[in-house]
Amino acid sequence: MSQLKPLYLGSGIDDLEKLFDKLPSDIRNRELDTICKSGQKLIEQSERYYIEKDEEQAYVGYMRFMRLVLMIRDHKEYPRKKQMVTKLLCSQSQINRIMDKLGNLKKSLDARYMEKAISRGTTASQPVVAMVSNRERNTTAPASAGGTSTAVGSGGRQTVSATELHGMMNDNRVSLLIMDCRPEKDFNESHLRYAYLVNVPEHLLVAGMTAGKINHALRPESRKLWSNRMVKEQVVLMDWSTSGSPVKDTPIYVLDYILCHYDQDIEHTQILRLDGGYENFLLHYPTCCTNPAYCPPMALYSAGENLDDIEYPNISDIPMKEDSFSKPGFKPTIDRNSKVAAVTLYEARQKPLEDILVEHEQILDKSKQNALEIINTETELQNLEHNQPADTGLDETQESLLFEVMQLKDRQRDYNAEKARLLEEQESYKEMEKKKQESGEHISTEQAEQMEWEAHERRLREKEREQRELEEKCQRLGREREAKLALAREQKRHLKENVPETTKQPYAEGPPVVGVPSMPQFDRSAKPLADHNHNVRTIRDLDVVQRDFAPVYGSVGRGLTGLKNLGNTCYMNSILQCLSNTYFLNEYFHDASFKMRLNRNNKTQGKIGEEVAAVIKALWTGQYKCIASKNLRYVVGQYERQFGGIEQQDSHEFLTILMDWLHSDLQTTQMQISTSLDQLPLSEKAWIEHFKGKSSYISDLFYGQIKSTVKCTRCQKESATYESFSNLSLELPQDSNICYLENCLDMYFNGEEVRGWHCPSCKSNQDAIKKLDISRLPSIMVIHFKRFYADPDTMSTVYRKKQTLVKFPLSDLNMTRYLARTEVNRNKRLTTFRYHLYGVSNHYGSMESGHYTAFCLNNVHQKWFKFDDYNVSSIDASDVQASAAYILFYSCLPDRPLSDAR
């Protein structure tokens, strides 16, 4: 057996890399068969070196060959000449054998270089990146003269090169964890050969995520690796190809942001990014990757791929608002030149027509049953009023019945709108059939009519059976209602006899619970809260000492606790239940560390955030049937007097103000700015200026950005401005009983004419078209319907309500069609997501007399529930769509059930 050739090309692997990295500069321009022939000679030469035990030359030759293979696979002729390349060069199995040889050579050379260095009394070549002390890691480099800032916790150094990372991976003294934020599919196809490597899939890296939520969402085998970030001194982040500072909102940017701002466990860890990403490392060290032949995808987030600033090159491409509510026709197109096509069309039409008839009958049945419930409820209410003295106000039972009548009447209106729609569809089919007959296309309709008649008879028999069941059910419900009413009367009489007059509550607190001893209730609404800005001990004791939820005890499912009506506070209860079922916000408030992020220097001094968190936590204990949000109502009333009284208020107005308060209370996170403001895109600059350079968990979750483009019809020049939003307010059609959410979104985003706009290019007033688009999609999309409007036909200002039934999806709401063309790159991470509905704030009745409820999808039970003040009941998903829908809550985040640990 021959001896190994002495080492002579270098003192370490790094020296060999400089040799195999040099390929002829013009090789990419050569013919593919010429490159393959060069590869044949290179592999033959390398095999000879390998046999002769010249490990250095063999390693350099094999590495050059692998670099050549990657270059060939990127060649423009490769897809067409793939078989020729395999025949001339080598197959995949041969490449795998070469990879095994490279692995063995590298191990042997590393050991020999180390032995040689020790024998000379020196050390082998060390990685460029040295371990950083805790003191250095905690030092943030000062802002440069240009006004830029560095990432928190980076110690001034933000990136490492492929060569530096390779050295760190091979140095046992470096405490390192690598986080690969490419898609899971790409990671499985090819990744680094390193023990402490964890894949954090890019679909998890969206605004609103925290380290804890990533841990819950990761696969079990990845969680242990993820937890190593707490003990490792350095964490390196990598994606496909990002160089330098990452583009805002890309996965690697979000991951870096999460680790720096929402992960208390790695406060003293250095966060670095791999410059050039996995693609660059793959080119330098293919042997350190599981599949070096895997081709990376096209870079989606390259800063150099910015689209042109022109939003609409052709003004004729802008859709206009007047086309928003044009209802799509139900008439399929007919090829009258083809008899076969006509027959096929008729046969295909039979089934949809039958479906419409069946659906029509189902709606009729539901409508009749709902009408009976209205009659029963109103009769019950009348009977109850008969038994009450004329001078007494409404008690809880009467008020509950009134609210029930409102909801039943709204539902009846929805059924009527659905019946009108189905009748229109039937008429459309009949008109199409008439036109076909007039055109001379004779199709045998007798058989279809006979089948339809037989089906009609079957439906009649079924309806008779259902009618009998309906009557029996009405009688049973009547008996149950009478029994409940008698019990309520007895409880009321008992309370009047035993409760002293001075202890009665000033407003309804929910029904008493039979069998539970009555506990004394205290109205703390008049007691001032602690000074949160100075008394830290009082802040910590607030949950125990001052906060009075006046709970009604009872074991219910987690998140199924109701809220008492404190005097027309149903608008507030509806919004609080929707926010309570916002999974990520819920988890955030359950984490005690959120109090460390409270802003005590703003107007509300963190009190709003603290009280909302307390209410949400109480709603999820599962120990109470209902609670009262007295403290929250008191604090809210201190800063907005209208919400502290007993008058009915608008839930949308409350939500908008509450979002601003919560954002201000949690606005403590400094935004990362990689360059000066003047060098940023206009949208990014507007975003930073709107939030004054500081973000919050609320802005990460709920806030988006609108781009407003005005295009001159004369010179075609455009002017753009940007505005942030926490919800979208959509118009409803004026004279339509039913429409679709898509129509409302079109109305909001489509163009409108602007007269007398001063064009900065023409230097004069011109006609223009204004168009809105989304420049930044929020993680939580809140949509509000403008149901209330001032009646133009009245002398004084009188507000009316639009009772339009809006058909909205419960899942798969795609908002990408409303993205600004110039901002698609920023939002590309969301194209694989669809928004799913999880909450609805409903309004029943009119401006004069109304009531709010909430429909929410519970994450633990994965079911929809109706929250009607203190009453909580399950509902079918098909009942969520209703004309009462006022505010919709959509999420594109990867929701998971709440932890059972809480």
Q: Residue 855 phi/psi, 5° resolution?
A: -110, 125
Helices 396-438 and 339-386 cross at an angle (nearest 10°) of 160
Element (H, E) at 813: none
> In the structure, how many helices (H) and strands (E) does the chain have?
24, 25
* DSSP state for residue 245 in the 8-state scheme: S
Helices 630-639 and 607-619 cross at an angle (nearest 10°) of 160
Cα gap 39→404, rounded to integer Å: 81
Q: What's the distance, CA 478 to chain centroid?
A: 45
Q: Are 767 and 753 in contact (CB under 8 A)?
A: yes
**Active-site entry in 570, 578, 739, 892:** 570
Supply 66's token pair.
Answer: 């692998």
Q: What residues pair up with 177 in beta bridges, in sequence order?
A: 235
- Residue 203 annotated as catalytic: no
Sign of CA dihedral 185, 188, 193, 197: positive
**Active-site entry in 739, 744, 851, 856:** 851
Which residues, 6 or more positions from 72, have their beta carbon under 8 angstroms from its beta carbon? 32, 35, 36, 39, 78, 85, 89
Helix (H, G, I), strand (E, B) or coil at 890: strand
Supply 371's token pair.
Answer: 């009408």
Closest CA to 651 of 574, 731, 563, 565: 574
CB burial string 775-804: b at 16+ within 10 A, e below: bbbbbbbbbbbebbeeeeeeeeeeeebbbb
| Torsion of Cα atoms, 106 then 111 then 117 then 120, to 10° | -130
Cα gap 478→845, rounded to integer Å: 25
CA angle 397, 399, 401 (to 5 degrees): 70
How many other β-carbons are positioned within 10 Å of the β-carbon of residue 764? 11
Cα gap 897→858, rounded to integer Å: 9
Cα gap 899→589, rounded to integer Å: 13
DSSP letters, 337-359, are T-HHHHHHHHHHHHHHHHHHHHH
Cα gap 124→101, rounded to integer Å: 23
Q: Are 707 and 722 in contact (CB under 8 A)?
A: yes
Supply 7's token pair.
Answer: 């080492």
Supply 547's token pair.
Answer: 């906060």
Q: Residue 309 phi/psi, 5° resolution?
A: -70, -10
Cα gap 895→580, rounded to integer Å: 14
Cα gap 833→513, rounded to integer Å: 45
Cα gap 171→196, rounded to integer Å: 13
**Residue found by looking up tokens 């830029």 in the block:** 148
Q: Are 775 and 706 in contact (CB under 8 A)?
A: yes
CA angle 779, 594, 558 (to 5 degrees): 75
- Residue 494 annotated as catalytic: no
Q: Are 162 and 274 in contact (CB under 8 A)?
A: yes
Q: Residue length, the chain?
A: 902
Cα gap 466→759, rounded to integer Å: 67
Ranges of H-type helices in 77-133 = 82-88, 92-119
Supply 521's token pair.
Answer: 């209730």
Which residues, 6 or more positions from 319, have their beta carbon under 8 angstroms from its beta carbon? 746, 750, 751
- For the annotated catalytic residues, the residue numbers are 570, 851
